[in-house]
Amino acid sequence: MVALAKSIAFIIFPILVFLCSQFLEISYYLNDYVDSVLNKIQQEKVYNFIIVGAGTAGSIIAAKLIDAGEKVLLVEAGGPPPPFVNIPVLSPMLQQTPYDWHLRTIPQVHACKGLIDNISIWPRGKILGGSSRLNMMAYVEGHPEDYHDWFPDYNDFRIEELFIPDELRWCSVLSKTILEGISELSSTDKYKNRLNDFMKVPVAMENGARWSTDKLLTPERLSKGLDVITHAQVEKINFDSNNKAHSILLKKHDRKYVMRATDGIVVSAGAIGTPKLLMLSGIGPKIHLKGLSIDVINDLPVGKNLIDHVLTGIDLVILNTSLSVSVTQMLKPSSALNYFLFGEGPWTFPGLEVVGTLYADSMKNLTKYPDIQLMVMPVGISHDNGATLRKYLGISDTIFSQYFAALTQKTAVTLAPVLLHPKSTGEVKLKSRNPDDHPLIDPNYLSQEEDVNTLIDGLKFVEELVNTRSMKTLGAEMNRQPFPGCEIYRFGSHKYWECYIRHLTLTSYHPAGTCSIGKVVDKNFRYVINFYPF
């Protein structure tokens, strides 16, 4: 009966996913049309500050400046969120819709061999709230040593809480069992003082609904001097003869406008959008810009030092116990009622249950920050027969059919090691002078052997965790099916795990580093007078 219900769910679920994607498509373009008719730009208006990008950082900065009495213009390339996207379980659905920038890396040489064309898909939010609208809502603070590296006077900073993270309102028995297994390992000599802050993940959720930073763009702030322009792409920042940023050139519905600011331009377009705009404006590597016939204002390593938190290990563990988080459970009418009436139940599930960090055995350094984060998800690529996550990650048909398809009638879960401090660095470059062209993104994944060794340590830790008494109560076993392309190696050997990692190389959606403190901006985030790129 369970197998039959699952088979029926596998038929219904892709249909619902398709209908949802069509609804999102219609919602976006309908809002775009209404916006073009009703919202006219007042080009003669001058602001204290202009903020480019209403994402995670931009919305917060706008709110703080308005509260300080400034007049602020916030410009966003996307539109407002559509109905129903505050339902946490719908988190992935905005990917590969008009609310996503549809970014992709160039083919990777050392990694991503199990992905279509060796290309990693990088979803980024094109929407008020930015990528905080697309993620799994995990609220995880960085290690203090990370902040000390960036800001030596970090201890003097005052951190303000914009909201209080919520606890998970729905999770499977896996979360409790994982934490019990972590407790077992923590008591051993090998892992003493090496495991940190393992917990059920705090989430950016309020009353069972997603909390994204666009919630700060309240009617009160809009009435106090905050203007928000949506569906508008900023194409260039304009500077005067003293390198003072004074205006932006934006395009909205095929018309171009110049908007002016007296006190500053803040660019918070993310790790990809920000360097793209800087380079289009003449700030970046001199040779690269001159090759595209762009006048150079300042020769800086904009776009260099690109890093990302690589993860692996999707569907790597198999249980002989069914979990409460499943497609079948999500499709039950009672789940919908429980959510809309009480803000509870499986529809509040964000996808991630447990997080924690550990020091890799190969690093032998317990005085600095941890090297690996473990992300525990009671789902994976196979849980919906490849209807969503497979598509969003870009898993090739061959890999799915030969590896993941066999897991669809089983309970496969994800214990994913995440590389926290990659040694491999890449870059973002312009494809052309055309602002409509996506930049060329090369994270250069796993070009440094040390990154591979660290992830191997993470996978070996997963093996040990799976073998704890606690995990055996769920019948946990490693998925020993050889990964396609790695069949010649013995499962669990160093060579096997290296091959596995280089094939199943996935982003955790955390690109950074392209406008580095010290190289591109100072510790106050200033580049030139009145210019703050984020």
Binding-site residues for FAD: 234
Q: Which residues contact 315 (CB under 8 A, 6 or more apart)?
A: 380, 381, 382, 404, 407, 412, 413, 414, 479
Q: Helix, strand, or coil here: 229?
A: strand
Pairing between strand 72-75 and 46-52?
parallel
What are the tokens at 13? 């679920």
Q: Which residues contact 312 (CB under 8 A, 6 or more apart)?
A: 416, 417, 455, 458, 459, 500, 501, 504, 505, 506
DSSP designation for 403:
I
Q: Which residues contact 230 (CB under 8 A, 6 or more apart)?
A: 35, 39, 54, 76, 78, 79, 80, 128
Chain centroid to Cα 317, Å, comes to 23
Gyration radius (Cα) of the chain, Å: 23
Q: How far apart are CA 50 and CA 248, in angstroms?
A: 8
Report yes or no: 36 and 113 within 8 Å, Cβ to Cβ: no
Q: Which residues contact 1 (CB under 8 A, 6 or more apart)?
A: none
> Which phi and psi angles does 143 have, rounded to 5°?
-70, 140
The CA-atom distances, in angstroms, between 105 and each of 1, 91, 98, 124 are 43, 22, 19, 13
Angle formed at CA 245 by CA 242 and CA 246, multiple of 5 degrees = 105
Please compute, for residue 247, the number of CA atoms within 13 A of its CA located in the half-sphere on the CB side. 13
Pairing between strand 245-252 and 232-239?
antiparallel
> Which phi and psi angles does 412 have, rounded to 5°?
-100, 135
Which amino acids are annotated as binding site, given as ranges? 234
Q: How far apart are CA 46 and CA 433, in angstroms?
A: 28
- How far apart, in Å, do the first and last CA atoms of the chain sit? 53
